[in-house]
Amino acid sequence: MRGIYFSVKNDTEGFRLPVNPETVEVVNKGSGEVYDIAKLGNVNIPKNVELKEFSVETFFPAQDYHFLVAPFMPPDFYIQKLEKWMEEKLPVRYIYVNGSFAINELVTIESFPYDESYGSDDVNFSLSLKKYVPFGPKKMTVVKKPVLVASATTPKVAAKPAVVKKKTPPRQNEKVTPKTYSLIKGDSLWKVAQKFLGDGNRYPEIAKLNGIKASDYRKLPIGLKVKLPPK
């Protein structure tokens, strides 16, 4: 099952998000510089890659829901921890597992806006994160390699040509047209995933396919027609 974890101080303090976000976003940016060359025009000179950025958007539940992926605490528990880590300028370990890709990075929290919707004690929030690279002065040691002098009697051995192995690209899955299902009273995305896909924990796939946000899980209208991913 997909999971997102945050921790500090070598994993001695942290928590798992009780509600997985609809999307897990990673942003890679270059930092090239553009120059105007006479008779050539603009050219872009590649520079070092900028620090990787991440974003997470979901909510802290104030009550138990069937789609929770972990035991939950009151929203204030998570808010206090995140604000404390920001104030103490702590690098945070961000881990995302069992998705299409994995994340295990030290990050800094760049922004943490949150709000409470009217009629609910749940707290909606988003996190903007940036990769943290530990730094500090290091002592350099210069190692001198001995110079080898070839003698007249030393036979020369011809270097073997390097063997280049070609990798065969993975075969892409054929696209299957999804089926649809109209929600009835008492339905939830978890129940639909359990009934048609055989695994209720695949409900995020249905949400992603139909553009349903995590904050809308609790207010799906009866009769809503949803597309179903392949089983």
Q: Of 91, 79, 88, which Cα lies nearest the Cα of 9? A: 91
* The predicted structure's pLDDT at residue 167: 66
Query: For residue 192, is pLDDT > 60?
Result: yes
Q: Are residues 13 and 120 in the same domain?
A: yes
* The predicted structure's pLDDT at residue 185: 86
Q: Are residues 89 and 196 in the same domain?
A: no
Instruction: Let me know: does 131 contact 93? Beta carbons within 8 Å.
Output: no
Q: Are residues 78 and 185 in the same domain?
A: no
The residues with which 123 forms a beta bridge, in sequence order, are 60, 116
Instruction: Let me know: does 44 contact 34? Beta carbons within 8 Å.
Output: yes
Q: Are residues 44 and 115 in the same domain?
A: yes
CATH number at residue 186: 3.10.350.10
Q: Are residues 127 and 184 in the same domain?
A: no
Work out the percent of the chain whose per-residue pLDDT is above 70: 87
pLDDT, tens digit (0-9, with 9 covering 90-100), for 125-148: 999 999 999 887 777 777 877 776
Instruction: Let me know: does 85 contact 129? Beta carbons within 8 Å.
Output: no
Q: Of 204, 198, 205, which Cα lies nearest the Cα of 231? A: 198
CATH number at residue 125: 2.40.30
Residue 215 resides in a domain: yes
The model carries a pTM of 0.58
Query: For residue 177, is pLDDT > 70?
Result: no
End-to-end CA gap in the chain: 16
Say how far apart CA 14 and CA 74 lie, in whole Å. Answer: 15
Q: Are residues 121 and 27 in the same domain?
A: yes
- Choosing from 115, 131, 147, the residue where a domain stops is 131
Residue 151 resides in a domain: no
Query: What's the rounded mean pLDDT across residues 197-206?
Result: 88
Query: What's the rounded mean pLDDT across residues 109-132?
Result: 92
Query: What b/e string do you get for 178-206 counting C-beta neighbours within 10 Å, with b at 16 or more?
Result: eeebebeeebbbbebbeebbeebbbbbbb
pLDDT, tens digit (0-9, with 9 covering 90-100), for 9-40: 998 999 999 999 999 999 998 877 787 888 78
* The predicted structure's pLDDT at residue 35: 79
Residue 149 resides in a domain: no
Residue 81 resides in a domain: yes
- Our count of domains for the chain comes to 2
> pLDDT band at 42, cuts 50/70/90?
confident
The token pair at 169 is: 């690209």
Work out the percent of the chain whose per-residue pLDDT is above 90: 42
Q: Are residues 184 and 117 in the same domain?
A: no
Residue 193 structural domain? 179-228
Say how far apart CA 198 and CA 203 lie, in whole Å. Answer: 11
Q: Three-state SS for 141?
A: coil
Residue 69 resides in a domain: yes
Q: Are residues 115 and 19 in the same domain?
A: yes
pLDDT, tens digit (0-9, with 9 covering 90-100), for 211-225: 888 888 888 888 889
Say how far apart CA 3 and CA 68 lie, in whole Å. Answer: 11
Residue 173 resides in a domain: no
